[in-house]
Chain A
Amino acid sequence: MEIFATLVSILYQFATNGAFLLLSALGLIVILGMMNIINLAHGELMMMGAYAATIAYHHGLPFLFCPFLAFFVVGAFGALIERTIVCRFYGRELGALVVTWGISLILSQGTLMLFGPFLPSIPIPGGSVGVGQYSFSTYWLVVIALSWALVLGLWALYNRTLFGLQARAVMQNAAMAKALGVDINVIYMLTFALGAGLAGFSGALFAPTVSIAPFMGQQFVAPAFITVVVGGATNVIAGAVGSSLLLSLVKTPIGFAMGAFLGTVALLLAALVIIRLMPNGLSAVIQRWLDRRNRFA
């Protein structure tokens, strides 16, 4: 029983870290994989999601609905900045990086001016379950389950719907997709809105666990970027899942033994070694393996 409880505890730590990395990175990786654009305002979009959830919660909306509200609010905002600003930077990766950085400065400082240095926080919903001498937060268990449900949902969206088919066509060959009658501007706008909405959704999910402040987005930025770098952009979903699992495998023991900060340092070092070995990320390796298997099947 003792050993069983310890095993469950390790698994819980591992899954929590994995879910944190996955949720932090999901919105970023959707935009990168489909549009080849790094959205440096990602942390600020998560911050917006947390703010939307917090404000709605304190106006009486049950927390259950808050993340979904955040998804639509931030998604709409994402569509807006895609149409007005980001759409001028397709094909200019570094230009897009710099301009989204400018947007992030405006958003974080603007939030400080509008809402002040902090908002009252949301209490963590749910209690805890105990196994042996350990107890686990129900909320995090739900978040872990939700992160996996999100991945499944994304997989279904990209593989089972017309939007997904068209989005993948645009990603592979935009000119050909356009020639076949796909409105690529709409696809780009919806993809960016989806990525922004996912960032808002994650931000709202993390809202009860952190303090709500204008610069809170920064704490998600480093883990999210490392996850994306390790995952690569070849196969979005495989990359995100693979890299968050792998990095959680690095972060969990080191963070447990030496503290959260060194856990994050270990993430950076792991990322440096991994890109030296596989420059296009884990997803390129996974994709190659899938291709080879399909060929022989």
Chain B
Amino acid sequence: MRFLRLLTGREDIGGSGLFWAVFVIVCLFFLAYPLEITEFEASNVAFYLLNVPMALGLSLLWGYCGVLSFGQVAYFGIAGYIYGIIAGNMIGDPVGPLAGSAGGLAACALVATIFGYFVFYGRVQSWIVPILTLVLTLLLETFLGQTAGYQWRVGSVQLGGYNGMTGIPSFQLGDTVFIGYAFYYYVLVVVVVTYLALRMLANSRHGKAMLAIREDAVRAELLGYDIRARQLAVFVVAAVLAGVSGLLYVQWGNYITPSQVGLLQASLPVVWAAVGGRESLLAVAIATYVLNWLTYTLSSAGYQYALVIIGALLVAVMLFFPDGIVVTLARALPRRGLPLPLVGRKSGGA
């Protein structure tokens, strides 16, 4: 019962029976989808989905905890590169990809803990976190960009400078290698489990404390919550989730380049969260999927316009839908009965 209560709590849009019926139907649709499409299309859909954990992490951090980070792609890149180094050195060993994944996520957690310690335990003002995370991203890109040449190799893996790291092994469990349709299902399971787990976290007591910190940090602290430790914990969770997306990305394309941690990539998670509505995990997940599909379609039409359109979209959303497009639409839906999630809550400053 407690499990169900956490799942259907009010800290995300949707909680009615109808909502869950639609949710299950959509999941079933995604399960059956590969029967209708080619392996190439399934791989594209997997690409749209694999960014969702990073976006959900940012939603948790920014929308639920009130801490904005522009540096989520730094953890994306760290996980991707560490996975490439570990798994690439263990080619032929079926444990390699598993060890690489664990190593990548551990590296994310470590960097986020050290970085977050200085930032949150210093009790800095709210604008400092986004710009320092941005600086971290810029430095990581510069560092990775100058790793061209033979001296920049770890074991048998070359970092490869701006050309990036190639030949990264796919994910493997035992003898099953996750490529093609298998990779699609693997990503789908990761995304759905991540969403449900985060939804339960948001509805738990920790989630309530998180919201209290967002609404009024001083008051939350006076009520006895250690806001520094809690903000740091959420920051690390968000970093690990960005790492999950990074792992999925290198397992999907088998390569990674420094531009994946560049300034332009760094803007994307913020755009997804802002367009969907950062205070709702589901809205962010939907926006991530749709915008990835849109970017892909736009970029096949002519990449040079994609960034202008995304920038304009960001400005327009911040001006006209400060709570996000998906959340605004969800509120406009007619609804019956309780609970009324997200309705009537005064939106605090962005």
Residues of A that sit less than 8 Å from B by CB: 32, 36, 38, 40, 85, 88-89, 91-95, 97-99, 101-106, 108-110, 112-113, 215, 218, 221-222, 225-226, 228-229, 233, 261, 264-265, 268, 271-273, 275-277, 279-280
Contacts and interface: CB of A to CB of B under 8 A. Distances in A.
B134 interface: yes
Interface string B131-147: 11011101100110010
Interface stretch (B32-40, B203-211, B240-248, B310-318): B310-318
B308 interface: yes
A114 to B, nearest CB: 11
Contacts of A264: 139, 142
Contact of B350 (A40, A94, A218, A221): A94
Contacts of B127: 32, 36, 38, 93-94, 97
B319 interface: yes
Interface in B73-101: none
A110 B312 CA distance: 11
A279 B131 CA distance: 14
B322 A95 contact: yes
B1 interface: no
Interface residues of B, number: 45
Per CB-CB distance, the 5 closest pairs between chain A and chain B, nearest first, are A95-B350, A105-B311, A102-B314, A106-B311, A102-B315
Interface string B95-122: 0000000000000000000010011011
B299 interface: no
Given A228-B131, A229-B128, A279 B122 contact: yes
Interface hub of A32, A92, A102, A279 (most chain B Cβ within 10 A): A102
22 contacts: A32-B127, A85-B315, A93-B349, A94-B68, A94-B127, A98-B274, A98-B314, A101-B270, A101-B314, A102-B311, A105-B264, A105-B267, A106-B311, A222-B135, A229-B124, A233-B125, A261-B146, A268-B136, A272-B132, A273-B118, A275-B119, A275-B132
B319 A218 contact: no
A104 B311 contact: yes
Given A112-B304, A218-B263, A272 B139 contact: no
A85 to B, nearest CB: 7
Contacts of A113: 304-305, 308
A101 B121 CA distance: 27
A276 B115 CA distance: 11
Given A38-B131, A222-B135, A98 B311 contact: no
A89 B315 CA distance: 11
A276 B319 contact: no
Given A102-B315, A105-B311, A92 B349 contact: yes
A86 to B, nearest CB: 10
Given A261-B143, A272-B119, A103 B311 contact: yes
B307 interface: yes
Nearest to A105: B311
A43 B318 CA distance: 21
B328 interface: no
B335 interface: no
A76 to B, nearest CB: 19
B25 to A, nearest CB: 34
Contacts of A279: 122-125
A226 B311 contact: no
A18 B305 CA distance: 38
A229 B264 CA distance: 22
